[in-house]
Amino acid sequence: MKLNRKAIPLLAVSLLTTAALASQSFDLGLTAPTAQAKSMKKEASWLAGDHHVHSEWSVGWDNSTNPPTAIRGGDAIYPITKNAQMAKQYGLDWMVSTDHGGPNHSKVNLEQAYPEVLKAREAVPDLTLFYGMEFDTPAADHSSLIIPKSKDESQTLYNIESKFNKRDPHPSDPQRDTEANMIDALNYMKNLVEPPVLFANHPARSANGEAAWGQDTPQEFRNWNDTAPNVSVGMEGAPGHQAGAINPDGSLDPKGARGGYGNFATMGGFDQMSAKVGGLWDSMLGEGRHWWITSTSDSHRNWRDGGSDFWPGEYSKTYVKAENTYADILDGLRKGRVFVTTGALVTELDVTAKSKGNNASIGETLAIKDNGKSDVTVTITFKDPNANNSHGDNPSVKRVDLIMGEITGKVEDRSTAFNPTTKVVARFDENTWKQKGEYITITYKLNHVDKDSYIRVRGTNTDELEPSLDPKGEDPWTDLWFYSNPIFMKLK
């Protein structure tokens, strides 16, 4: 059982203002309050999901034949229906089946994987199951490609994979593995009648050190987002393979690394690109970019079967505020109505910013009147469930951080990976929040907000003020975090 926390009223804390912003040359996508109210569905709720799940159609390859022959179950091992069943068992409302490619894999997806998606939808009808793939991203690492559900979804993915996936041609084509090909792919995707959504997977897994980027770079993310802001919308904040240190008997492997991050470790289970305050993510947000983070399993083989993965939903969840329809879930992912969590630390998280009758929620933009003379009231409400998670634990949130940064316009150096204005402006614990049952509410006033800015929220069950590098052999269940996506604030 959880200890009852004392509900102590929060004292108002003033935020000191700083120097004026540079002139802006970007569009934050400002949404009027009336439009915001209309956009939120009456039946919208927080729906848990996972957009990075592999099946037996993430195949191995027999290179002794010409062309190479696909080996079913040669990489990931589970049928799509099994993945869907386990996703539902572990509390997911939606899932994306994302198999990665190889020579002529576009045909494998079209002729073999897609029929299994249809069977899985029939077998698990109460799971909203998207069709997609782990795109072998030209000149970069991998990306989750989520295809809108339609009668043409299989052909839509086939066209993208066969035309642009860097590993699909046989013989291999070096021109496929170029950034020019990726830009061509994004231009193609953004002009589809129903564009897909793309998130960069495990973005700093190939980094050699702090900000020593590997296959994915800040320049590429900016180029992608500039080319197709309705398609390339973010990256995995918490990658999969989080069970890398767990043996099949449940003991810990002292050599196992969370996420498979062998060179520069994850931080509280999160990629350095999102975990470092003032880092790459904040640099993107400081440009006013709508760049969201997610959290996935990257399931190939469960830890109980000798793999390094949790089942979809077993450890990590991406929550989307949406009606439980394909269209609205994809819209929520595209527009950043998203928070992420590990270990079922929280199951609901609402953040609102309000100023003189205007208000905005996660993924939206708040219009601030009076050119900097107005206060902004931030309200954070989350559900800390009094229930055991998949490990049999009942973790409690120890602290919540409110993070704020300035929006200073597009950077001149597109490799920039820091935002020096971003900082933790307030920390909250049981002495400074109000609790009623499983719900905790925090209220905080930002005084005289006089710059275009953004806020975001994170929380943890640990005592760490900042997430530290995850040592090999760490038990992931003891180091849990949740993150919201941002709310932008623009002076009117």
Contact in structure between 467 and 270 (CB atoms under 8 Å): yes
Residue for token pair 């947000």? 285
Q: What is residue 469's DSSP assignment? A: B
The answer to whether residue 439 sits within a structural domain is: yes
Give, in degrees to the nearest 5, the angle at Cα 329 between 328 and 332. 85
Q: What is residue 398's DSSP assignment? A: -
The answer to whether residue 441 sits within a structural domain is: yes
The answer to whether residue 27 sits within a structural domain is: no
- The angle, 0 to 180 degrees and rounded to 10, between the axes of the packed helices 179-190 and 218-227 is 30
3-state secondary structure 118-138: HHHHHHCCCCEEEEEEEEECC
The answer to whether residue 8 sits within a structural domain is: no
Distance CA 172, CA 165 (A): 11
Extended strands (E) in 114-269: 128-136, 142-147, 197-200, 232-238
pTM for this prediction: 0.91
Please tell me the predicted confidence (pLDDT) of residue 42.
Answer: 61
Distance CA 24, CA 287 (A): 9
Kindly give, in sequence order, each residue whose CB lies less than 8 Å from that of residue 82, ignoring residues fewer than 6 positions away: none
Distances, alpha carbon 62 to alpha carbons 49, 67, 70, 103, in Å: 33, 9, 6, 11
Please tell me the predicted confidence (pLDDT) of residue 43.
Answer: 84
Q: What is the mean pLDDT of each run of 10 residues along the chain (492 residues)?
A: 36 34 35 43 88 98 96 97 98 98 97 98 98 98 98 98 98 97 98 98 98 98 98 98 98 97 97 98 98 98 98 98 98 98 98 96 95 90 98 98 98 98 98 98 96 98 98 98 98 90
Q: What is the DSSP string of 306-362?
A: TSSBPPTTTSEEEEEEE-SSHHHHHHHHHHT-EEEEETTS-SEEEEEEEETTEEEET
Distance CA 176, CA 407 (A): 35
- The angle, 0 to 180 degrees and rounded to 10, between the axes of the packed helices 80-89 and 114-123 is 40
Q: What is the DSSP string of 5-73?
A: PP--PPPP------SPPPPP--------HHHHHHHS-TT-EEEEEEEEE--TTS-EEETTSSSPEEETT
Give residue 295's identity as a one-letter amino acid code: S
For the beta carbon of residue 66, count every other beta carbon within 10 angstroms. Answer: 9
Contact in structure between 98 and 160 (CB atoms under 8 Å): no
The answer to whether residue 18 sits within a structural domain is: no
**Among candidates 405, 408, 409, which has minimal Cα distance to 421?**
405
Q: Is the peptide bond before 203 cis (omega within 30 degrees of 0)?
A: no
Distances, alpha carbon 403 to alpha carbons 20, 79, 226, 252, in Å: 19, 41, 25, 34
Distance CA 55, CA 97 (A): 7
The answer to whether residue 142 sits within a structural domain is: yes
Tokens at residue 83, please?
């993945």
Tokens at residue 141, please?
């690492």
The answer to whether residue 246 sits within a structural domain is: yes
Please tell me the predicted confidence (pLDDT) of residue 492.
Answer: 85
How many domains is the chain built from?
Answer: 1
Question: What is the domain-level CATH number for residue 61?
Answer: 3.20.20.140
The answer to whether residue 363 sits within a structural domain is: yes
Structural domain of 324:
33-491
Give residue 190's identity as a one-letter amino acid code: K
**186 exposure class (CB count in 10 Å sphere: 0-12, 13-18, 19+):** buried
Please tell me the predicted confidence (pLDDT) of residue 452.
Answer: 96
Give, in degrees to the nearest 5, the angle at Cα 94 between 90 and 96. 105
Residue for token pair 């291999």? 172
For the beta carbon of residue 441, count every other beta carbon within 10 angstroms. Answer: 15
Strand pairing class (197-200; 142-147):
antiparallel
